[in-house]
Amino acid sequence: MATHVSILVDLALKYQIQIYSFDSSQGIPNPSSEDESARNPKRGDWARRTVEEARMQLVDFGLPENFVNHDVIFVPGFVEKTLREIRTPPLRLLHLDLDLYSGYKSALERLYEYVVDSGVIRFDEYGELKWPGQQRQSMNSARITL
């Protein structure tokens, strides 16, 4: 498990907060022109695991099964659609790992207003040249004003 995920889960356990995990389980959606790079991403890249496999992986890494079953809410599907279907609580930490411009754009348009004062937005791929769409959307989002 990536170190940043372990840190997020440790914080959730310590402060007794829920984690929402949005994952298509179908890989990435169609990349847009903002995502063009030498990497040349294609629809379906990184289709790795089902929700049940992700749940079991967390338990295998030593997380309490009760926590995984009750406080990690898995939301399958592409965020462009699934974010419209949930009730959003106030967010202290918004960790985004969406790879492409459209996912980051949808997530920020939908969730930015729910980040509490002094809350943190973390962009997983920030600064990585192989994800130019993420970089572009992150920079656009930095211009958001309330």
Domain count along the chain: 1
- Rounded distance, CA 54 to CA 4, Å? 16
Q: Is residue 100 part of a domain?
A: yes
Element (H, E) at 76: strand 72-76
Is 29 within a domain? yes
Bridge-based pairing state of the strands 19-23 and 72-76: parallel
Residue 146 in any domain: the answer is: no
Residues 16-36, mean pLDDT to the nearest whole number: 78
- Classify residue 7: in a domain, yes or no: yes
Quote the domain boundaries for residue 73. Answer: 3-141
Please state the pTM of the whole predicted model. 0.69
Q: pLDDT tens digit string along 73-122?
A: 888 888 888 888 888 889 888 877 777 778 888 888 899 899 999 888 87
Whether residue 22 lies inside any domain: the answer is: yes
The pLDDT tens digits for 129-141 are: 555 555 555 555 5
Residue 82, domain CATH: 3.40.50.150
- The answer as to whether 121 is a domain residue is yes
